[in-house]
Amino acid sequence: MEIRTYSQQVPFTTKDGSTIRSLLDLSNAPVVEQSLAEAEIPAGGQTERHYHRLSEEMYYLLSGSGIMEIEGETRDVKSGDAILIPAGKWHQIRAVEALRFLCCCAPPYSHDDTYFA
């Protein structure tokens, strides 16, 4: 059985500029097909626009509000929203209010699978 405690996971900054805390991924568990992390973006902050060649992502917003852009389409997003980001699609999230969200990736998140213009 694999269980990880939130407070024991050390936050770090990803290539896109968000601060994440890996909950279950290749760095701390025998994960094969997916990863789970919590991300935080301060009010007024944003990720750098990027895409993942291999990973499909899902965001679930726990708190805050922002603007999600996927392939040029933008939508206001808020706590309680779930967002699908298909592999290969350019995307960026901007925080209007401080954002805290779960990020699920399949296959697992990897810095090497993060691409910029």
Q: Tell me how far the alpha carbon of residue 67 is from its chain's centroid.
A: 14
Domain assignment present for 16: yes
Backbone dihedral region of 71: left (phi > 0), alpha (psi from -120 to 50 degrees) or beta? Answer: left
Domain assignment present for 112: no
110 Cβ neighbours under 8 A, 6+ residues apart = 26, 54, 55
Please state the domain count of the chain.
1
Q: What is the CATH number for 90?
A: 2.60.120.10
List the chain pLDDT tens, one digit each, 117 residues: 999 999 999 999 988 888 999 999 998 999 999 999 999 999 999 999 999 999 999 999 999 999 999 999 999 999 999 999 999 999 999 999 999 999 999 999 988 999 998
- Whole-model pTM over 0.75: yes
Residue 22 is part of which domain span?
9-95
Domain assignment present for 1: no
